[in-house]
Structure 1
């Protein structure tokens, strides 16, 4: 039964930037809908137009119907109660100091009686096991816990619809999976309608009812996830938004012939069964034209030695020695951290939420001061830094002012740092922000803000670039371009240190990986060694093909197997 309907809906911002034109879409009660598309294509704008309280300012035509009623005519009470909105940054939603205050805040605003508030909080804290967190301060929670508290503050109002804008973008892979499992349970057990935008789709595709792919304000594809996979597997843009399980399936079908059409796998369980059956058919059927090739391929890789840690003969340009840090004497976050950074090295720092990755990065760029230990580098070494919240870097009214002021301040401080107009123009075009120059940075999407912040940092021509979650909010296609750009800059001598939850990006592009655990660098090795040897904290590709084609942890690895 229909719950939401966009009827010839058009929207443009007040600067005449057209976002949607005559968009038509129906969402039924209990649907779980995923919206995908390039950064800035309008996904967030679409969701925000369903929530009157945060509706973007602009011109609209057509009608959005909610439960048979024009959504613009909903009472404030019904809109607040029925439709909940969860932002991608958990920090943006908090208004209170403690968890129990945060969850009760919306109920108090709705005039709910005190006893009913206590009953609802008791119920929801029991259901989500929040008992031990209720009296904690929200700034003491991990990323996953913060997002769960935000979700619960919506659920106490008993909403019919949840609008989620990249809710897992700042969560580590384990916390992300746990959060998505909660959403799945809410959808299946309570029939809450969920509309979500997301770039990390491997864990989402198995349980959505519909995927909607958007390109330049137009719905390019709208179908069941399995059908979407078949429709877009050869599409140069939208094939990048398919789950790894499906992409591996299509890759095998490209190189090997099978006796019958196979169902496209969406989950890891389906993917592993698919891999087993395809592998058996290839190896058991000597008439298969690729049989010998496949046998040789497996033998070749199995006989290869593992990569091991690469020895870099370059001279260290940055050192940290025995770093210790804590915000108070009872809570030590960083312990005994020592390592060197060499010219042209790309280090990815991985680990769960709350393990101290961002804190370590701020120690390295001297935003924070260690309680013990030293950070050493030549005074001529220039450091660049991009915070995990890009909005921290913005000071001016337009993107153009941000970039021009950055460049002029750099040139006035150090005449040796000069980025000529062509170099700057090329950088702006590469990051696809030329159309944003007249916009206020705060009016840009999360992915666009991320790009602007990285450009600002690169304008400084740093020797070492420190990045905190640089791929957050970026679409899969631009992430690939960004990784290639980073590798080109590496060849020119740039060193990169990146904190990330994006293990696929780390595996594809970094040359060295740290795993932070209990405040220490627990693992320091190559990405391939780290992810290939891990069973849980690893890539989807490794889980899928580990028993059949070893030493392949990314799709790039898998594709390169047949090219060699």
Structure 2
């Protein structure tokens, strides 16, 4: 298991274990797979022997049916049909997916989708399974089922499992080794128990991510309680640990009768009101209602099923309200109803007072919050919007916010320091890790100073250290009279910090109460601390609760002074944590040099065959006209021109393959081709007014001449499947490709100026003369038995209106598309280290 704070490099490290996923940047060192350099392992072999499961289950699914997804990897490897049938059936049985075999993927829950991703990877029988925070989007029950399947894979199939996780409660106990990362470096690489002890001894912030049993042991051991016992690593061993502590004397105090560290009321409000939550009357913390739902019913489709059913709830001003429940029970829909993104078809949702103007929602996918290409620009834009909103508000409202309108930079620094995002300001939000995106999105929402803050899975992807910071931020907001509503699968976070918790099932509230009462009564949706201590204590739901009750019951016992300091045991181990790595680094140096020499030799050999093919194609293209003159009596211009057009395309395709492009480069060309094809289809009603040439020019200008030609040529070829293939297709391919090629050549040389109006004019000119000139040749050769100058003049003259429309369309599309598409292409090139030539910039 690999653990560390958000942004410590866990995901980056895992992506280095598959060369196709390796991020761009300066690399050094060596990665070995089965005693062989990973760089020398073919992509096919890596796909088969190294499995990878990502954080978001929707990002990895590529087909529409479950059985299609199970078979997709095997089909891509060219496995025979009989083996595919056997493997998919066997895999479905192993993972208990027989009843879902023919189901549509979009009908599955989040847990089922993630299990499907795991099953699809395991169908290829990999030797190594890599998982990047696979349970971050799953509820506790689904997460437990998923991790149990991973344990079975390791235990029964002998597959090596490498998993990066923040939720270590169920993972650490099953692991053989724990790797702790900080600042992109491995600081600990030991057995789980030893790694935890080293973190505790060094006072590391990462110790807060260790399982509850370990944290309870460490706190009690510091007081000399139970230090002679072995450190527990999971809930089961934690129960035995507590049983041993109270083996001789049963505890007299077994429950906490009131909140120990939370104020009874917020802002001096009374605590005598009740709300109808569907499961009984619950005491609230304030008289003032912030949100009120009464008899609400909601469905997404007119004839679909009800997602929210007869739902009534009051949420109060200054309250920290938490909602838990399984995936698909209506939690996210509840937030959408509160903020007005969804409207009930029956019942009412009321936002009390003037809070309706200041409601902010942090969705599950924080990427949807961002709209600029750097976090700094995003936050400054949010500050501008907030300032304008305050200026438009009433005089009373403005007077309340006068002190809040600080200088933009000052406010920016204040918020980024609060959310620990100072170092991320100049980065693109999409380039951040999952946890960093959560913090950045929260920073943007805090800019608006909302009266009601709605958070959908706010702790997803963030480490326990920042969870404590997040809790402080949210409690500060509540103390200011703000209302916080969170939807979360993080039961420990809700138990420790929420004022009230509610459980939703099938669109209804099943239970609503204070955290201690709420979680102590549950068996599955409860905390690890409660499961660990419920056989001794009645309502302990957090580490603090368990430690407090143990201390209260043992406060009369004499502690052993020699055991008071439990932080010195592993200091020598911390010093020597990296000793073995130094020796391994020296051992691999000579092998690295040897491998690089072999790769250089193989690269030189790989260039020879494509070069010969290119030369042969060019020779044939030049020879065809002469062969036509002497062997066909100078009359087969149709056949000759067709052959020349086809052969002219070959060198560009071969040269692209010669440099062995990355999968990312192929994907970019495929996506741009798809955009061009779709654009040609969308504008089918407007003759010659198409975006294909514009897309080819953009590809050439920003990705280089090679990419420009391929995007143009492929767009012509693929789109003709819809508009009609024929002998004109190679000419269209050459025309579109030539436009992209010229744009790439001029862009590479810097001759295209950085103004979109100039690029638009340039695109119109080359579309008219280059594309029109090439495609009109087809008309000349295709309709005239013996082309003459008079025939050529007639053809080109008749084509002028059509070419003018086409040129105008290229100018229009370039003017509006070049700048945004160019910015995205430049960012993609930088982020993924793609080997395209440096193009123009607007």
| 1:380 correspondence with 2:368 | no
Assess if the C-alpha contact under 8 Å between 2:206 and 2:464 holds in 1. no
Distance in 1, Cα, partners of 2:200 & 2:229? 14
| 1:37 correspondence with 2:42 | no
Against the structure 1 CA distance between its residues 558 and 257, is the aligned structure 2 distance closer, same or farther, given a 3 Å change threshold? closer
Residue of structure 2 in register with 1:400 after alignment: 376
Q: 2:318 aligns with which of 318, 337, 344?
A: 344
Assess if the C-alpha contact under 8 Å between 1:306 and 1:551 holds in 2. no
Q: 2:35 aligns with which of 51, 58, 68?
A: 68
| 1:318 correspondence with 2:286 | no
Distance in 1, Cα, partners of 2:296 & 2:90? 44
Runs of 4+ in 1 over 6 A off after TM superposition: 305-308
Assess if the C-alpha contact under 8 Å between 2:256 and 2:540 holds in 1. no
Deviation readout 1:526-546 (Å, 9 max, x if unpaired): 111111111222111112222
Report the structure, 1 or 2, having the larger helix content. Answer: 2
Assess if the C-alpha contact under 8 Å between 1:87 and 1:164 holds in 2. yes
Residue of structure 1 in register with 2:218 after alignment: 250
Against the structure 1 CA distance between its residues 94 and 560, is the aligned structure 2 distance closer, same or farther, given a 3 Å change threshold? same
Q: 1:50 aligns with which of 9, 17, 22?
A: 17
Assess if the C-alpha contact under 8 Å between 2:126 and 2:159 holds in 1. yes
Map residues 421-432 of structure 1 onto 2, 5 A cutoff: 421=408, 422-432=410-420
Map residues 218-297 of structure 1 onto 2, 5 A cutoff: 218-234=185-201, 235-257=203-225, 261-281=228-248, 283=249
Following superposition, the deviation at residue 115 of structure 1 comes to 2.7
Distance in 2, Cα, partners of 1:115 & 1:379? 67
| 1:410 correspondence with 2:386 | yes
Following superposition, the deviation at residue 98 of structure 1 comes to 2.0
Following superposition, the deviation at residue 548 of structure 1 comes to 2.7
| 1:500 correspondence with 2:468 | no
Assess if the C-alpha contact under 8 Å between 1:407 and 1:459 holds in 2. yes
Following superposition, the deviation at residue 482 of structure 1 comes to 0.7
Q: Number of matched residues?
A: 516
Against the structure 1 CA distance between its residues 55 and 340, is the aligned structure 2 distance closer, same or farther, given a 3 Å change threshold? same
SS of 1:341 mapped into structure 2: strand
SS of 2:246 mapped into structure 1: helix
Greater mean alpha carbon deviation, residues 534-543 or residues 310-319: 310-319
SS of 2:187 mapped into structure 1: strand
Greater mean alpha carbon deviation, residues 37-46 or residues 399-408: 399-408
Distance in 2, Cα, partners of 1:97 & 1:407? 42
| 1:164 correspondence with 2:131 | yes
Deviation readout 1:481-501 (Å, 9 max, x if unpaired): 110111011000110110000
Distance in 1, Cα, partners of 2:255 & 2:548? 15
Map residues 385-534 of structure 1 onto 2, 5 A cutoff: 385-415=361-391, 416=398, 419-420=405-406, 421=408, 422-534=410-522
Deviation readout 1:14-35 (Å, 9 max, x if unpaired): xxxxxxxxxxxxxxxxxxxx11
Assess if the C-alpha contact under 8 Å between 1:407 and 1:419 holds in 2. no
Greater mean alpha carbon deviation, residues 361-370 or residues 412-421: 412-421
Against the structure 1 CA distance between its residues 350 and 257, is the aligned structure 2 distance closer, same or farther, given a 3 Å change threshold? closer
SS of 1:203 mapped into structure 2: coil
Please report the RMSD computed on the Cα atoms of aligned residues, expressed in angstroms. 2.1
Distance in 2, Cα, partners of 1:180 & 1:342? 37
| Larger CA Rg, structure 1 vs 2 | 2
Greater mean alpha carbon deviation, residues 380-389 or residues 412-421: 412-421
Q: 1:175 aligns with which of 135, 138, 142?
A: 142
Residue of structure 1 in register with 2:686 after alignment: none
Residue of structure 1 in register with 2:580 after alignment: none
Following superposition, the deviation at residue 369 of structure 1 comes to 2.2
Residue of structure 2 in register with 1:193 after alignment: 160
Following superposition, the deviation at residue 419 of structure 1 comes to 4.4
Distance in 2, Cα, partners of 1:243 & 1:87? 23
In structure 1, runs of 5+ residues without a counterpart are 1-33, 285-294
SS of 2:453 mapped into structure 1: strand
Following superposition, the deviation at residue 263 of structure 1 comes to 1.5
Following superposition, the deviation at residue 306 of structure 1 comes to 9.1
Q: 2:538 aligns with which of 527, 546, 550?
A: 550
Following superposition, the deviation at residue 249 of structure 1 comes to 2.2
SS of 1:374 mapped into structure 2: strand
Assess if the C-alpha contact under 8 Å between 1:143 and 1:170 holds in 2. yes
Greater mean alpha carbon deviation, residues 268-277 or residues 511-520: 268-277
Assess if the C-alpha contact under 8 Å between 1:419 and 1:459 holds in 2. no
Greater mean alpha carbon deviation, residues 433-442 or residues 414-423: 414-423
Residue of structure 2 in register with 1:22 after alignment: none
Against the structure 1 CA distance between its residues 306 and 237, is the aligned structure 2 distance closer, same or farther, given a 3 Å change threshold? closer
In structure 2, runs of 5+ residues without a counterpart are 261-280, 392-397, 556-842
Residue of structure 2 in register with 1:154 after alignment: 121
Following superposition, the deviation at residue 478 of structure 1 comes to 0.6
TM-score with structure 1 setting the length: 0.87
Distance in 2, Cα, partners of 1:313 & 1:396? 39
Residue of structure 1 in register with 2:529 after alignment: 541
TM-score with structure 2 setting the length: 0.59
